[in-house]
Amino acid sequence: MNRLLPVLVTAAAGLAGSSAYAQSIACGETYTIQRGDYLSTIAQRAYGDLGSFNLIYSANVDVIGPNPGAIKVGDELVIPCLDGDLGESQSNASIIRDVETTEQLPGPSGDRPIRVLTATGWAPFMDEDQEQGGLLTEIINLALENADGKPAYQIDFINDDGAHLQPLITDHAYDISIGWSQPNCEIMDKLEDESKFRCNNLLFSDAMYEEVLGYYSPASDAPMTDHQELVGKRICRAEAYTLAPLEEVELVEPTITIVRAPTSADCMNFLLEGKADVALVAIDVATGRISELGAGDQIQIHDPLTYVDVLHAVIAQTHPRAEEILAEVNSGLANIKASGLWFETVRRHMTAFRALSQ
């Protein structure tokens, strides 16, 4: 169920003072994984904080595989540099608009531009205040710009998140919405209603981005190595965020208690205030809030529980152009990944976000 890989690296408290942990790691080179390593400790040694965990994973996803909490001794990882020339965006920001949900929208047709939904308030992924509207907004912009069929398209910020899937996507007012995770639809009987809705009503693109989620708890807790150790815990997730990562490991109510916070970052506050026992939060977001709170010695991450939440573009299964539009999105994603443009974009956004969080 945990999708663990063979020959796993194991953590041991006695290794904390070993040379493997004491030595820094140079960027721009390869690093050979040693016993006792986790991606978080590698990020700490390479960059001075574990917030760049995600960047190391993105650069090495083909080597690491689907479980960043289970890296293999002897594998070699590329350690990207965060300084130097990060380049400039290659996407056309003029294609992005700010739209009210009350605007009259045409129905789907063969000559209508592909209409893409994005939203704000989810830095560094989708946010009006960030360059190019955030990482995912820029990725979909680049993907469609570089798609094989060179389709016409437009990207709209509609900041009524609750309306994105229903009615805007299901009624075909918009074609694509971005930043959605795909539940494991093979365990339908274990899924909550939200996840069942996605399985039954949406089609998913290839991966836009693999977001690494961490399980966090107070530093006074014993280290956890198995998801079943979370049974009986109050687990914090942001309002409206998917429970798919928990469902995947059979952690559903009443086995656990879900505590909802206004934002993902607020789950870190909930830990310190005793409102939750565990927080399931994107590592980038968690690291930023922990830094803001000066709580680095009060909160710990449980590396073996780490989960990769693959973010997709989605389209309604009933959309008359679903296959055509998904093919364009997928061809564009493949093209920007093959050219290196995808990783350049990820590095630029994640480096900028890291700088703001320090």
Q: Under CATH, domain 94-209+310-357 is a member of which superfamily? A: Periplasmic binding protein-like II (3.40.190.10)
What is residue 109's predicted lDDT score, i.e. its pLDDT?
54
Average pLDDT of the segment spanning 259-283 = 96
Higher-scoring residue by pLDDT: 22, 125: 125
Amino acid 51: pLDDT? 65
Q: What does the pLDDT read at residue 18?
A: 36
What's residue 50's pLDDT?
Answer: 67
Select the highest-mean-pLDDT range: 74-78, 256-260, 340-344: 256-260
* pLDDT of the residue at 5: 27
Integer Cα distance of 95 and 103 in angstroms: 17
Residue 66 pLDDT greater than 90, yes or no: no
Question: Can you name the residues that pair with 257 across neighbouring β-strands?
Answer: 234
pLDDT over 60 at 152, yes or no? yes
pLDDT value of residue 97: 60
pLDDT band of residue 17 (cuts 50, 70, 90) is very low
C-alpha to C-alpha distance for 347 and 353, rounded to whole angstroms:
10
**Would you call 129 exposed, middle or buried from its count of C-beta atoms within 10 A (0-12, 13-18, 19+)?**
exposed
Residue range 87-95: average pLDDT? 65
* Residue extent(s) of CATH 3.10.350.10 domains in the chain: 1-80
Task: Report d(CA 331, CA 208) in Å as an integer.
Answer: 12
pLDDT at 201: 97
Residues 55, 58, 63, 68: is their CA dihedral positive or negative? Answer: positive
Which residues in the chain are classed under CATH 3.40.190.10?
Answer: 94-209+310-357
Q: What b/e sequence results for 236-274 when a residue is b if at least 16 CB atoms lie within 10 Å of its CB, and e otherwise? A: bbbeebbbbbbbbbebeeeebebbebebbbbbbbbbeee
Whole-number mean pLDDT of the chain?
Answer: 86
What is the CATH T-level fold of the domain 1-80, as seen in this structure?
Answer: Membrane-bound Lytic Murein Transglycosylase D; Chain A (3.10.350)
Coil, helix or strand at residue 62: helix
Report the percentage of the chain scoring pLDDT > 70: 85
pLDDT of residue 52: 75
- Asked whether 172 and 319 are in contact (CB, 8 A), the reply is yes
Inter-residue contact 311 to 114 (CB < 8 Å): no
Q: Which two tokens stand for residue 204?
A: 């998913």
Select the more confidently predicted residue: 4 or 24: 24
Q: Which of 7-16, 56-65, 109-118, 169-178 has the lowest mean pLDDT?
A: 7-16
| Residue 318 confidence (pLDDT) | 97
Q: pLDDT digit string (tens) for 7-16?
A: 233 333 322 3
